[in-house]
Amino acid sequence: MMRQAGRYLPEYLELLSQTDFFTVCKTPALACEITLQPYRRYPSLDSLIIFSDILVIPVAMGMDCRMEPKVGPQFDFALETPEDMEKLNLTPDVEATLSYVFDGIYWTRTQVKNEVPVIGFSGAPWTLMGYMVEGGAVRSFDRAKKWLYLYPEASRKLLAALRDIVVEYLVGQFDSGAPLLTVFDTNCGEIPPRLYEEFCVPDLKYIATEVKKRRPGALVSVFPKDGEMAVFEDSDFDVVGVSWTSSPAEARRSCPSKTLQGNLDPHLLYADPDQIRERTVQMVKEFGVPKYICNLGHGMVPTHPVEGPKAFMEGVDSVSCEDAPAPSQEEK
């Protein structure tokens, strides 16, 4: 589940009450502890996503960040004009600045004795640029959108720098033991498709190609939230994430050769368990079990009841076992 370790879990709130968000991210043992919390509560979870945040990349570039309760992430400064890029290190040493994430992945994998995979992730360049230009979480990314039109060259420079960091960062996560790497482009749907294809799609395709060139065993996934999925049909991404705004049939039409991941409306998790199970089964049947990874269509939120995920997983387990094709000789 997207953001499966988070504020809807009392054990998460308890740990966070003693420290702050980015200290947890930077302390491998604490990041591991929080990554394991949902697994302890829901043992049928079949993968863990390392506890961290996409904003660790801007932090590594020199933009310090705090997680303000009820507000979200706030950087010490925003990129108001291209001149502000001089305050950044566009080529940070990824190993030196982000090894805490690599250590957290390695530590978690060791703790679960490799019984369950640990997924790594990064923000996509455009989503990271959005937060950097705005200086933190905002309702709409007006300033970041304006940058693409007003300062196209500076935007390209920033996006290219982020792209190269993302590649290094994902390779490092793979090397620490994360077999599947997800690139979250949460702000994909904020701009028109043409602009997305001009400024974002080539870099995303490059990320998939480059990571797989350097690490042929890596699996890579992209989540172009609320955007056009079809542009990724012709890419090296193995998996394309589906937002809750798409129907499974529409998603299959857009990316017929890809494995799809998604897309339960997170709000369903407020419903009674029977309804959660029924609608989950319906969703899995609509996607079909082959080439499909069951997930939410966006993240868990603080007000979600802890019972919701249990019913969701029961629904998934009932239908995926029943309908799964027999594994091929190779898979066995």
Residues of the shown chain interacting with ligand CP3 in the complex, contacts defined by CB under 6 A: 2-7, 16, 21, 49, 51, 53-55, 67, 72-73, 121, 127, 137, 184, 186, 299
> Contact at 8 Å (CB) between 285 and 319?
yes
The tokens describing 195, both together, are 């602009």
The tokens describing 4, both together, are 């499966």
> Contact at 8 Å (CB) between 239 and 219?
yes
Closest to ligand CP3 by CB, 82 or 117: 117
Strands (E), the chain: 48-49, 65-68, 72-75, 118-123, 180-185, 219-224, 239-242, 259-264, 292-296
Closest to ligand CP3 by CB, 23 or 81: 23
CB of 77 to ligand CP3, least distance (A): 17
Percentages helix, strand, coil for the chain (3-state, rounded to 5) are: 50, 15, 35
Distance CA 131, CA 123 (A): 10
CB of 242 to ligand CP3, least distance (A): 13
Closest to ligand CP3 by CB, 187 or 254: 187
Measured in whole angstroms, the distance separating CA 273 from the mean position of its chain's CA atoms is: 26
For tokens 């594994």, the residue is 327
> Contact at 8 Å (CB) between 178 and 50?
yes
Q: What is the DSSP letter of 234?
A: T
Other beta carbons within 10 Å of 83? 9
Closest to ligand CP3 by CB, 7 or 41: 7
Q: Following DSSP, what letter does each residue of 101-119 receive, concatenated?
A: HHHHHHHHHHHTTTSS-EE
Closest to ligand CP3 by CB, 55 or 167: 55
Closest to ligand CP3 by CB, 5 or 101: 5
CB of 67 to ligand CP3, least distance (A): 5
Closest to ligand CP3 by CB, 136 or 315: 136
What is the C-alpha R_g of the chain?
19
